[in-house]
Amino acid sequence: MGVALSRLRNISVAAAMVAAMTVTLPAEIAHATNEVFCAGRRDFLIITWHTSISRGISCFANAGYVNILGGTWVDEISTGNNDIIYDDMNGDRVFIKRWTVERYWDMPRHVKGFTIL
């Protein structure tokens, strides 16, 4: 009976530790940045970009991260109503505040992703 009581006590202590960690650790907030139709709106994150075979304008809404596989050359960033950070292919993380337009016509940025804060 002593061994069973000892095991029960160990299980109780482990369960209490798990419960304490569950209560004290903050839950991760899930964010979903998604591409949206621009529709002439200026409050979205608007990216003017090009690759070796195409070019375009993309708009994004909602907080979160957008990964650009292989990287894209960015000619202009209009942050709209968003503070953002972009990850440059050289490893830099660049913060740009809301309602800012950055133009890189003479030297486009090679970007691998964006975070809308």
The pLDDT assigned to 81 comes to: 97
Name the pTM for this structure: 0.72
Rg (CA), the chain: 23
The pLDDT assigned to 1 comes to: 53
Residue 116 CA from chain centroid, whole number: 6
pLDDT: which is higher, 51 or 81: 81
What mean pLDDT is predicted for residues 16-40? 58
pLDDT in tens, 49-66: 998 899 999 999 999 999
69: confidence class by pLDDT, cuts 50, 70, 90 = confident
Under the phi-then-psi rule, with left for phi > 0, alpha for psi from -120 to 50, and beta for the rest, what region is 71? Answer: left
Distance from first CA to last CA of the chain, Å, rounded?
Answer: 57
